[in-house]
Structure 1
Amino acid sequence: MREFVVQQNQSHSVLITGSTSGIGLAIAHCFARAGHHVMLHGLADNETADALRAAFAGYPGNQGFSSADIASEAGCAQLVADTREAIGNPSILINNAGIQHTAAAHEFPSDKWHQILSINLSASFFLCRELLPAMRAARWGRIINVASVHGLVASENKSAYCAAKHGLVGLTKVLALENADHNITANAICPGWVETPLIQPQIEHIAREQQIDLETARAELVGAKQPMARATSPDAIGELALYLCGDFAGTITGAALPVDGGWSAQ
């Protein structure tokens, strides 16, 4: 038990996919502030990458950045290689990268279906497969899959997204069972509406259509699905991820944790 506690309290190398903005970036800041070594990832140009490195330069741990395209198995392998070179072998993997496209199932473009499944689900599997052997050898590891409330419930026009996120929750449970005896936990965080730039166009559209102010439009958008009609802060997702890698979460595994204002409780 003593060896376990010491290992928990040390700094770890953390790989966070899709961490150039939104939830992923908030998670990265939370782990960097806590003293961990952080690998940032996303499809970003050199200027954006340099700005990210500068933003993280003041933290105590090391950091790196990769723009590997994780839509393919080879891209996932490249990301792992880039991470090991920059910050060492990651003992914490946070699969956050995701994309979205909406259309009715009978009209859903096949290229969008394959792209969403590749990035939102398959990439998480390939990265876990790459990193689990080292975690198992070290007898310590943490896998956090940022799924969605749409991994628990469905919405119209989101067949690929819901399929991928439901699959990610299922993958999480399998990983938890297979690695429980190696002190490796796997959990899914399932956010509802999160206060990121992605929701702003929808808020502005409602405000224009109904000729209401932005705050009223925000409450209407969020409240249409969530009994608690306010969006979650990205930092709240980051702090939950950090908690799941801490001392008191060692027996939380295989869980799909909704952070959705009561959406999935209905």
Structure 2
Amino acid sequence: MTAEPVAVPHVVHVDLAGRTALVTGGGSGIGRACALRLAAAGAKVIVVDRNTEAAKAVAAEADGRAEGVDLADPAAVDRIDAAVDIVVNNAGLQHVAPVQDFAPERFAHIHRVMVEAPFLIIRRALPHMYAQGWGRIVNISSVHGLRASPYKAAYVSAKHALEGLSKVVALEGAAHGVTANCINPAYVRTALVESQIADQASTHGIPETEVVEKIMLARAAIKRLIEPEEVAELLAYLCSPPAAFITGASIALDGGWTAN
């Protein structure tokens, strides 16, 4: 899609031995990178993904365990083991269409996965976190949680809702040693981004070869895609002792997009 991937070393020292982390959408992309980074820090990782085989593969790499769950099904979400110390709400999907052509059922489905499921998971995880006086909730939002783009009504509104949920949890959890933050990346080198190229080309009337440069990177000052490991390294920092005072924040990892 762009230049060769950038190597991202582990630069944040964080010891999560004895902690258990849950990562949704952990079978690929950002979720996989987050699961592996938390495991490298010593956490036991629960990898949640609709693709059970992908979840199992990442869990094997992370010496964790997998749960195949469709986050669009609230009953299935309620069966997830939520007695965890760290929650990473990462799972997401995209659909590109003008508002007048956006199927209502598709809009609702995206909100179930990207707003309702994080709410249900956090709701069930908080009692355990409160009881021990420590917890970290990191919501993988997006630059689209801070800015809008055309043709992404469901995704943009879902990420804005996740931002609000995160801030409420930060305020309620502060007295209990629980922090809640959003990481807001621009376009990350993932299958989700790759899958948007054809839709974006059709919607904007340009060749697929021009989508990354003219659409995805147009508003960023740094002209490259973000590596999943860069998101994971910021996640690691948010779980570290020096980050204990960071809560209710939305941290842009966007190459200068929101500076415009």
| Higher Cα Rg, which structure | 1
CA distance in 2, matches of 1:162, 1:95: 16
Match for residue 164 of structure 2? 170
Match for residue 16 of structure 1? 23
Spell out, residue by residue over 1:44-89, the C-alpha distance to the aligned partner (whole angstroms, 9 max, x if none).
244x4443343234xxxxx110012221321111122xx6xxxxx2
What secondary structure is seen at the aligned counterpart in 2 of 1:38?
A: strand
Contact 2:137 2:179 in 1 (8 A): yes
What secondary structure is seen at the aligned counterpart in 2 of 1:230?
A: coil
Equivalent residue for 1:117, pick from 108, 111, 116: 111
Tell me how far 1:222 sits from its aligned partner.
Answer: 3.6
CA distance in 2, matches of 1:116, 1:157: 14
What secondary structure is seen at the aligned counterpart in 1 of 2:69?
A: coil
| Residues 40-51 of structure 1 aligned to structure 2 (within 5 Å) | 40-46=47-53, 48-51=54-57
Greater share of residues in helix: 1
| Residues 171-250 of structure 1 aligned to structure 2 (within 5 Å) | 171-200=165-194, 218-250=212-244
Spell out, residue by residue over 1:7-58, the C-alpha distance to the aligned partner (whole angstroms, 9 max, x if none).
x764310000000000000000101111110001111244x4443343234x
| Residues 8-87 of structure 1 aligned to structure 2 (within 5 Å) | 10-46=17-53, 48-57=54-63, 63-80=64-81
What secondary structure is seen at the aligned counterpart in 1 of 2:87?
A: strand
Tell me how far 1:210 sits from its aligned partner.
Answer: 5.8
Computed over aligned residues only, the root mean square deviation of the Cα atoms, in angstroms, reads 2.3
Any gaps of 5 or more consecutive residues in structure 2? 1-14
Match for residue 122 of structure 2? 128
Residues 210/151 of structure 1: CA separation in 2 closer, same or farther (3 Å cut): closer
Match for residue 146 of structure 1? 140
Tell me how far 1:118 sits from its aligned partner.
Answer: 0.3
Spell out, residue by residue over 1:163-215, the C-alpha distance to the aligned partner (whole angstroms, 9 max, x if none).
10001001111100011111100000111011123333566897xx669xx7x
Contact 2:31 2:91 in 1 (8 A): yes
Contact 2:56 2:65 in 1 (8 A): no
Residues 263/49 of structure 1: CA separation in 2 closer, same or farther (3 Å cut): closer
Residues 180/25 of structure 1: CA separation in 2 closer, same or farther (3 Å cut): same
CA distance in 2, matches of 1:124, 1:210: 36
1:155 aligns with 2:149: yes
Contact 1:70 1:79 in 2 (8 A): no
Match for residue 246 of structure 2? 252
Any gaps of 5 or more consecutive residues in structure 1? 1-7, 58-62, 84-88
CA distance in 1, matches of 2:227, 2:90: 16
1:96 aligns with 2:103: no
What secondary structure is seen at the aligned counterpart in 1 of 2:78?
A: helix
Q: Percent same amino acid at aligned positions?
A: 38
The runs of at least 4 consecutive aligned structure 1 residues that moved more than 2 Å come to: 8-11, 48-57, 197-206, 216-223
Contact 1:222 1:230 in 2 (8 A): no
What secondary structure is seen at the aligned counterpart in 1 of 2:105?
A: helix
Match for residue 3 of structure 1? none
TM-score (norm: length of structure 2): 0.86
CA distance in 2, matches of 1:30, 1:160: 30
TM-score (norm: length of structure 1): 0.84
What secondary structure is seen at the aligned counterpart in 2 of 1:118?
A: helix
CA distance in 1, matches of 2:246, 2:187: 24
Contact 2:26 2:58 in 1 (8 A): no
Contact 2:26 2:55 in 1 (8 A): no
What secondary structure is seen at the aligned counterpart in 2 of 1:78?
A: coil
CA distance in 1, matches of 2:115, 2:18: 28
